[in-house]
Amino acid sequence: MTRKLFPEDRVHPAIRETLAQNHRDIIDEVEAAITAHDILVVGMKQNPFPRRARKALKAKGIPFHYLEYGSYLNTWRRRTALKMWTGWPTFPMIFVKGVLIGGAEEVEKLIASGDLDPYVAAAAKVA
Protein backbone atom coordinates (compact mmCIF):
# COMPACT_ATOMS: atom_id res chain seq x y z
CA MET A 1 0.00 0.00 0.00
CA THR A 2 1.36 3.36 -0.94
CA ARG A 3 -0.50 6.27 0.59
CA LYS A 4 -0.55 9.38 -1.52
CA LEU A 5 1.22 12.24 0.24
CA PHE A 6 1.96 15.68 -1.09
CA PRO A 7 5.65 15.61 -2.05
CA GLU A 8 7.97 17.67 0.13
CA ASP A 9 9.77 19.04 -2.93
CA ARG A 10 6.48 20.73 -3.87
CA VAL A 11 6.24 22.52 -0.51
CA HIS A 12 7.94 25.89 -0.38
CA PRO A 13 11.01 25.79 1.89
CA ALA A 14 9.71 28.74 3.90
CA ILE A 15 6.76 26.73 5.24
CA ARG A 16 8.28 23.26 5.66
CA GLU A 17 9.13 23.80 9.33
CA THR A 18 5.60 25.07 10.02
CA LEU A 19 4.18 21.90 8.48
CA ALA A 20 6.63 19.68 10.36
CA GLN A 21 5.79 21.26 13.73
CA ASN A 22 2.01 21.51 13.31
CA HIS A 23 0.62 19.94 16.52
CA ARG A 24 3.79 17.88 16.77
CA ASP A 25 3.27 17.55 20.53
CA ILE A 26 0.18 15.36 20.14
CA ILE A 27 1.90 13.17 17.56
CA ASP A 28 4.93 12.78 19.83
CA GLU A 29 2.67 11.88 22.77
CA VAL A 30 0.84 9.20 20.79
CA GLU A 31 4.08 7.88 19.34
CA ALA A 32 5.55 7.54 22.85
CA ALA A 33 2.40 5.73 24.05
CA ILE A 34 2.59 3.35 21.07
CA THR A 35 6.12 2.46 22.14
CA ALA A 36 5.23 2.12 25.82
CA HIS A 37 2.05 0.02 25.51
CA ASP A 38 1.23 -3.19 23.65
CA ILE A 39 -2.28 -1.97 22.89
CA LEU A 40 -3.19 1.70 22.61
CA VAL A 41 -6.63 3.16 21.94
CA VAL A 42 -6.75 6.83 20.93
CA GLY A 43 -10.21 8.35 21.17
CA MET A 44 -12.35 11.31 22.01
CA LYS A 45 -15.31 12.18 24.25
CA GLN A 46 -18.88 11.85 23.03
CA ASN A 47 -17.90 9.47 20.25
CA PRO A 48 -19.47 6.04 20.84
CA PHE A 49 -16.86 4.14 18.81
CA PRO A 50 -13.92 4.59 21.21
CA ARG A 51 -16.25 3.39 24.01
CA ARG A 52 -17.28 0.44 21.86
CA ALA A 53 -13.65 -0.53 21.23
CA ARG A 54 -12.71 -0.24 24.90
CA LYS A 55 -15.77 -2.27 25.89
CA ALA A 56 -14.82 -5.05 23.46
CA LEU A 57 -11.25 -5.16 24.76
CA LYS A 58 -12.39 -5.15 28.39
CA ALA A 59 -14.94 -7.92 27.74
CA LYS A 60 -12.15 -10.09 26.36
CA GLY A 61 -9.87 -9.19 29.30
CA ILE A 62 -7.35 -7.49 27.04
CA PRO A 63 -5.30 -4.77 28.76
CA PHE A 64 -4.89 -1.50 26.89
CA HIS A 65 -3.87 2.10 27.40
CA TYR A 66 -6.31 4.87 26.47
CA LEU A 67 -5.61 8.43 25.38
CA GLU A 68 -8.53 10.82 24.94
CA TYR A 69 -8.35 14.08 23.03
CA GLY A 70 -11.26 16.45 23.41
CA SER A 71 -14.77 16.19 22.04
CA TYR A 72 -16.62 17.09 18.89
CA LEU A 73 -16.66 20.71 20.01
CA ASN A 74 -12.99 21.15 20.89
CA THR A 75 -9.50 19.90 20.13
CA TRP A 76 -10.49 18.94 16.59
CA ARG A 77 -7.49 20.71 15.07
CA ARG A 78 -5.11 18.68 17.21
CA ARG A 79 -6.93 15.45 16.35
CA THR A 80 -6.71 16.33 12.66
CA ALA A 81 -2.92 16.22 12.98
CA LEU A 82 -3.25 12.59 14.14
CA LYS A 83 -5.50 11.76 11.21
CA MET A 84 -3.03 13.29 8.79
CA TRP A 85 -0.11 11.49 10.44
CA THR A 86 -1.70 8.01 10.44
CA GLY A 87 -3.96 8.34 7.43
CA TRP A 88 -6.79 6.82 9.49
CA PRO A 89 -9.88 9.02 9.07
CA THR A 90 -11.82 8.31 12.28
CA PHE A 91 -11.58 7.64 16.00
CA PRO A 92 -10.68 5.48 17.69
CA MET A 93 -7.25 4.69 16.35
CA ILE A 94 -6.08 1.39 17.75
CA PHE A 95 -2.45 0.32 17.74
CA VAL A 96 -1.37 -3.22 18.57
CA LYS A 97 2.35 -3.79 19.10
CA GLY A 98 3.02 -0.54 17.22
CA VAL A 99 0.80 -1.40 14.25
CA LEU A 100 -2.29 0.64 13.41
CA ILE A 101 -5.09 -1.91 13.10
CA GLY A 102 -7.97 0.51 12.54
CA GLY A 103 -10.90 1.37 14.76
CA ALA A 104 -13.69 -0.26 16.76
CA GLU A 105 -15.03 -2.39 13.93
CA GLU A 106 -11.57 -3.72 13.05
CA VAL A 107 -10.67 -4.60 16.65
CA GLU A 108 -14.02 -6.38 17.06
CA LYS A 109 -13.27 -8.45 13.95
CA LEU A 110 -9.78 -9.32 15.21
CA ILE A 111 -11.19 -10.36 18.58
CA ALA A 112 -13.96 -12.48 16.98
CA SER A 113 -11.55 -14.21 14.59
CA GLY A 114 -8.96 -14.86 17.31
CA ASP A 115 -6.33 -12.93 15.35
CA LEU A 116 -5.71 -10.64 18.32
CA ASP A 117 -4.96 -13.59 20.65
CA PRO A 118 -1.25 -13.96 19.75
CA TYR A 119 -0.64 -10.29 20.57
CA VAL A 120 -2.43 -10.63 23.89
CA ALA A 121 -0.50 -13.79 24.75
CA ALA A 122 2.79 -12.06 23.94
CA ALA A 123 1.80 -9.06 26.06
CA ALA A 124 0.88 -11.33 29.00
CA LYS A 125 4.32 -13.01 28.86
CA VAL A 126 6.05 -9.64 29.04
CA ALA A 127 3.89 -8.35 31.92
φ and ψ at residue 65, rounded to 5 degrees:
-110, 145
Residue 14 in any domain: the answer is yes
Classify residue 28: in a domain, yes or no: yes
Domain that holds residue 68: 8-126
Q: What is the pLDDT of residue 124?
A: 60
Q: Does 1 fall in a domain? A: no
Examine residue 58 and state whether it is found in any structural domain, yes or no.
Answer: yes
Average pLDDT estimate for 75-82: 95
Domain membership flag for residue 24: yes
Q: Establish if 3 belongs to a structural domain.
A: no
Q: Could you tell me the CA-to-CA distances from 65 to 10, 30, 35, 40, 56 in Å, in that order?
A: 38, 11, 11, 5, 14
What global pTM score does this model have?
0.91
DSSP 18: H
CATH number of the domain where residue 21 is located: 3.40.30.10
Burial of 85 (0-12, 13-18, 19+ CB in 10 A): middle
In a domain, 48, yes or no: yes
CB 57 within 8 A of CB 41: yes
pLDDT tens track for 52-78:
999 999 999 999 999 999 999 999 999
Residue 2 lies in a domain: no
Confidence of residue 119 (pLDDT cuts 50, 70, 90): confident
Count of domains forming the chain: 1
